[in-house]
């Protein structure tokens, strides 16, 4: 008997419906998808990213709210028709309607009618969207549009919103202990993979062509490269780890920065890679093992707890500390499209309190003359320069050495803030 193919639109719609209803992270559901993962990921992330634009389009044809699953199917179908050029119209509509039949057969005719209208009026919908306010046109919450307009100006805000709706590139960094960037580029070329250098760090970072999984690249199992955005290298540069040093990466998972630090401190150095969550520690351990970094010690601990940090290195002080704190993620909305819908002033204030607490705890264990790098993937000044300025006013034994802010549309990378603080 021939096995019936899986309806990819159905899987995407179920994930989106769960996100709409509960706020559960879509990436966790996507991690369990095995077949047609790239296409399903595009449907899910694209629909989440374009939620407000899609709802505006759908509302041109319906007059009332729909239950979660029906709305998610309408979003999946409309996303294909409006924003995906590589999907046949008949497949976008028919397969989405079949997905509806699986869960709610009585609604199939309704969904079919809405999507047929959308198909007939695609050009009108696209023209209409271009005339909408930025929050609808580029599908961002109004609170972020207002904040960014106030902080950066209307033009830069619009550029940022447009940038956030681009599909992110996958960036790899060759393992300097095993290969060079030129040798690894040659290896990719031998395997007919047309990669290119990233303009922000062309001596370190390689941009992969779209649709290629890093796990399928030559040398993945041998640890010839790690995967991470080039903006993360700013915090490593500020930290400036040296051979033989003991370094704490206080929020280390999934381990990209810890691996780069371990390469720099060498066999006589030591990296304490700490993280709070057990499931993320497993990923960290897997990545460290793949990259053959034997000088990384992985421990579970809370970076806001001085006790955890003290235990991690048997009460000894650290030469360097990297504190990559949890944040609102407003600098990485390309990669985490659902994060834009979780932003609130309340959550921003709560995170700033946590970040301050983590800075207080970690700084206690920095050796005299040592460097602590505080970093976030946030664009909000309350989590970056304002927090550091306020903290230094009450900690006179420390001084600011340098800070770096990356603006995504200008750098083509994630948005980050990093500050190096030295104990006098």
pLDDT at 213: 87
Contact 205, 336 (CB under 8 A): no
- Please pick, among 57, 118, 161, 377, the residue that the annotation labels catalytic: 377
The percent of residues above 70 in pLDDT, for the chain, comes to 99
pLDDT at 2: 43
Give residues with Cβ within 8 angstroms of 82, minimum separation 6: 50, 53, 54, 57, 118, 122, 125, 126, 129
pLDDT at 1: 41
Can you list the positions of beta strands (E) in 187-317? 196-197, 206-207, 225-227, 246-249, 270-275, 296-300
Give the pLDDT confidence of 307-324 residue by residue, as tens digits: 888 877 776 899 999 999
User: Which residue shows structure tokens 């990485």?
Assistant: 332
pLDDT at 305: 84
The percent of residues above 90 in pLDDT, for the chain, comes to 87
**What average pLDDT does the chain have?**
94
Task: Note if 57 is an active site residue.
Answer: no
Domains of the chain: 8-132 (1.10.940.10), 171-227 (3.30.70.1170), 230-423 (3.40.50.150)
User: Which residue shows structure tokens 């505080």?
Assistant: 374
CA distance 226 to 173: 5
Give residues with Cβ within 8 angstroms of 348, minimum separation 6: 328, 380, 382, 383
Can you list the positions of beta strands (E) in 153-228? 171-174, 196-197, 206-207, 225-227
Give the pLDDT confidence of 133-189 residue by residue, as tens digits: 999 999 999 999 999 999 999 999 999 999 999 999 999 999 988 999 999 999 999
Q: What is the mean pLDDT of residues 201-210?
A: 92
Give the pLDDT confidence of 30-58 residue by residue, as tens digits: 989 988 998 999 999 999 999 999 999 99
């Amino acid at each position: 008997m021939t096995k019936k193919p899986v309806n990819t639109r159905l899987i995407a719609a179920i994930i989106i419906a769960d996100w709409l209803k509960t706020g559960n992270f879509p990436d966790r559901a996507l991690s369990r998808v095995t077949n047609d993962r790239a296409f399903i990921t595009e449907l899910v992330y694209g629909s989440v990213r374009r939620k407000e634009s899609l709802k505006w389009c759908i509302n041109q044809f319906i007059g009332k709210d729909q239950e979660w699953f029906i709305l998610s199917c309408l979003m999946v179908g409309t996303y294909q028709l409006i924003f995906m050029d590589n999907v046949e119209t008949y497949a976008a509509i028919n397969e989405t309607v079949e997905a509806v039949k699986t869960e709610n057969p009585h609604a199939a005719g309704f969904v079919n009618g809405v999507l047929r209208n959308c198909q007939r009026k695609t050009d009108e919908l696209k023209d209409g969207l271009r005339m909408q306010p930025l929050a609808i046109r580029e599908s961002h919450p109004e609170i972020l549009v207002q904040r960014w307009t106030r902080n950066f100006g209307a033009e830069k805000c619009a550029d940022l919103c447009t940038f956030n709706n681009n599909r992110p590139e996958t960036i790899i960094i060759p393992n300097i202990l095993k290969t060079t960037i030129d040798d690894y580029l040659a290896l990719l070329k031998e395997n007919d993979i047309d990669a290119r250098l990233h303009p922000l760090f062309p001596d370190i970072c390689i941009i992969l062509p779209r649709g290629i999984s890093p796990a399928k690249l030559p040398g993945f199992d041998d640890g010839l490269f790690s995967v991470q955005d080039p903006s993360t290298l700013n915090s490593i540069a500020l930290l400036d780890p040296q051979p033989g040093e003991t370094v704490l990466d206080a929020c280390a998972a999934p381990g990209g920065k810890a691996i780069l630090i371990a390469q720099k401190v060498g066999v006589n150095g030591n990296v304490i890679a700490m993280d709070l969550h057990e499931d993320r520690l497993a990923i960290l351990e897997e990545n460290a093992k793949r990259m053959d970094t034997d000088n990384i010690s992985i421990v579970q601990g809370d970076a806001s707890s001085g006790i955890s940090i003290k235990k991690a290195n048997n009460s000894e002080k650290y030469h360097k500390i990297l504190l990559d704190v949890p944040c609102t993620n407003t600098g990485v909305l390309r990669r985490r499209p659902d994060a834009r819908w979780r932003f609130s002033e309340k959550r921003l204030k709560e995170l700033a309190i946590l970040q301050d607490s983590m800075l207080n705890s970690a700084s206690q264990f920095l050796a005299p003359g040592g460097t602590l790098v505080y970093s976030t993937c946030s664009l909000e000044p309350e989590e970056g320069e304002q927090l550091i300025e306020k903290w230094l006013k009450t900690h006179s034994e420390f001084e600011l050495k340098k800070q770096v802010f990356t603006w995504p549309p200008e750098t083509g990378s994630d948005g980050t803030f990093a500050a190096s603080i030295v104990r006098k």
